Structure formats: C-alpha cells, structure tokens
Amino acid sequence: MKKIIVFLAIMTAFLSCDSGATIVNNPNLPNYAVNEALTLSLPQYSQLQFVSNPIIISAGISGIVVMNTGTSYTAFDLACPNMQFGTCSSAMTLVGLNAYCSCDESTYSLFTGLSQGQQYPMKQYRAELSGGVLYITN
C-alpha cells in the first residue's frame, strides 16, 4: 500500500510540472508549424551572439524576430496579435528593441512580447540553445 501511495505522489508531482513556456491561445492568429535551426556561427545569425541585436527569419506567419536577451533567447512572430489575421496586411516593423504594428499603432517589447493596454501579446515560439545551434519551435 505504501508503494502505491509513493508512486501516486511521484506521478502527481511529475504530471504537474510544465516546461515553463506560457502558451497563449490567440484566436486572431493561425498556428503554423515552426521548426528552425539557426547555427550561430554562420554570418547571417552571428548578431545573435550579442545581447539586444534582433534578427528576422522567414518563418511563422509574418516572419519571426529572434533576440538574445542576455539570459536567454526570445522568438516572436511579427504578425499583429490584436488584429484579425488577414485584416492587417503588413508585418510589424522593428523600432529599436520593440515591434511596431502600424494597423493598430501598438508597440510590443521584444523582451516580453507585451504591449501596454493590448489583450494579446506577440505570438511566442520556443527558443532553445543547444551547443552552437538555436532551435526555434512551437
């Protein structure tokens, strides 16, 4: 009986853990599969070796902005998250360390993906460094 209780306690603790990623279901944006591997030693990705140097890759809905935050990497889609997909024809543009949506004139932080007063944050992807390769997935 003790073994069963210990087993159930361990399983409960194991199943209650999460990956630490916050998944926000945004009804405005579709879910496209993303599976990118960026070799940081290649010239087109070398900026990611330095803090606060975002780059844009051709993936996701409207392109993905990837940035080294100093402690980790962030990856956000450049589709305006608070506009219905298809109603805003342009991708957000980078303005310093922010992304700007010209359709609703909102600005989002590239560190958090958040914008003051907006319902949805930028669509975030997982960014995991393994060796010299940065994997961007969802």
Mean pLDDT computed over 102-113: 94
DSSP for 47-60, written as a single string: GGGSTT--EEES-T
Evaluate whether 37 touches 129 at the Cβ level (below 8 Å): no
Does some domain include residue 104? yes
Does some domain include residue 37? yes
Mean pLDDT computed over 57-66: 95
Does some domain include residue 12? no
Q: Domain count of the chain?
A: 1
Does some domain include residue 113? yes
Does some domain include residue 102? yes
- Look up the pTM and report it: 0.81
Residue 69 pLDDT > 90, yes or no? yes
Evaluate whether 59 touches 71 at the Cβ level (below 8 Å): no
pLDDT tens profile 114-133? 999 999 999 999 999 999 99
Does some domain include residue 14? no
CATH number at residue 100: 2.102.10.10
Residue 67 pLDDT > 60, yes or no? yes
Does some domain include residue 7? no
Residue 14 pLDDT > 60, yes or no? no
Domain that includes residue 69, residue range: 22-137
Does some domain include residue 56? yes
Mean pLDDT computed over 7-17: 47
Residue 17 pLDDT > 60, yes or no? no
Distance from C-alpha of 22 to C-alpha of 9, rounded to nearest angstrom: 25
Evaluate whether 61 touches 85 at the Cβ level (below 8 Å): yes
